[in-house]
Amino acid sequence: MKKVLVIGEVLVEIMADTIGEGFLQSQPLTGPFPSGAPAIFADQAARLGQPVAIVSAVGDDDFGRLNLDRLARDGVDISGVHVDQDRPTGSTFVRYRENGERDFVFNIRHSACGQLHVTDVVTKLVENADHLHVMGSSFSSREFVKLNLEAAKALRQRGGTVSFDPNLRKEIQSVPWLTDAMARILKMTDLYLPSGDELTLLTDAEDSPGAIAELLNSGVRAVVQKQGAAGATYCDVNDTITQNAFPVRECDPTGAGDCFGATFTSLWLRGFAPKRAMALAAASGAIAVTRLGPMEGTAGLAILEAFIQAHRRIT
């Protein structure tokens, strides 16, 4: 099986229990939950039995231990996670608004995972990887950008593959080097996994069909556009596959796109037919939105298949 590598943030998430605006009053919260888009991706891939390693850093605190315990338990190779003795584990406070938007308080850039530690172990992980998944959420750190670019280049040169989820976060949209870094990663991308409007983020074309044509012409082998509850669409030069979202009661959508992406990417690497990979990815996303906490809804293949079967029986 192909060895997957992700390089990016490991965080805890603390969730407001009530719907409303921000954190200007003390309120009931629940957490810490293991989080960080690259960590969720890695955890979901590992749950599918995919060999996967994450390069990151956490603090020498309970929030770091919580994450490392979870990732290791689920089978992620955490040998490339540095334990920083000085900086705390990153954190995100999130509260949903009435309209589904989210307010955040971030501690990422100056947390442990804002600093990269390229040790021999990390170099080895890059050398041994067959596939790199890049999360745009990690691009608030220049160091993460640099290592992702270097790793993508090295992998491609030796026949490896790259998947890329722009995964834009409110916090990092103002980072000046973002667009340039994203464009450079996109040039090396085999599998592109934008959500909603992100499809046209890095294209000259401003409409969806134009953007897909442009992406497939520029070397991207497959584009999967995630649309949340509106489903997802797969496109390559031969096929377009539309996958509906499974109707589930939404509890917490955070992390669902990462689970979807990890499942699709893992199965794509194994040569699954796109239609089957899309269905299983949709099941993965659906299960994730029913669980409180961004990494709580990761699931193995048997669970995803059972979910699809159960859904067929119901509808």
Short-list 218, 167, 174, CA closest to 193: 167
List binders of a copy of itself among 155-184 (CB under 8 A).
none
Distance in Å, CB of 88 to a copy of itself, minimum: 4
69 near a copy of itself (CB under 8 A): yes
| 98: number of Cβ within 10 Å | 8
In DSSP notation, 78-90 reads: -TTEEEESSSPPE
275 near a copy of itself (CB under 8 A): no
18 near a copy of itself (CB under 8 A): no
Residues 72-101: x where in contact with a copy of itself by CB under 8 A, - otherwise, as a string: --------------xxxx-x-x--------
Burial class (CB in 10 A: 0-12, 13-18, 19+), 38: buried
107 near a copy of itself (CB under 8 A): yes
111 near a copy of itself (CB under 8 A): yes
- DSSP 8-state class, residue 3: P
Short-list 94, 101, 221, CA closest to 156: 221
272 near a copy of itself (CB under 8 A): no
Q: Measured between alpha carbons, how far is 23 from 21 in angstroms, rounded to an integer?
A: 7
103 near a copy of itself (CB under 8 A): yes
Q: Measured between alpha carbons, how far is 197 from 66 in angstroms, rounded to an integer?
A: 34
From 22-30, 186-194, 263-271, 280-288, give the range in contact with a copy of itself by CB under 8 A: 22-30
Cis, peptide link before residue 32, omega less than 30° from 0: yes
Q: How many residues bind a copy of itself (CB under 8 A)?
A: 34
Closer to a copy of itself by CB, 28 or 159: give it: 28
Distance in Å, CB of 174 to a copy of itself, minimum: 10
Work out whether strand 232-235 and strand 240-243 pair parallel, antiparallel, or are unpaired: antiparallel
Residues that bind a copy of itself (CB under 8 A): 14, 17, 22-33, 61-63, 65-66, 69, 86-89, 91, 93, 103, 105-107, 109-111, 293
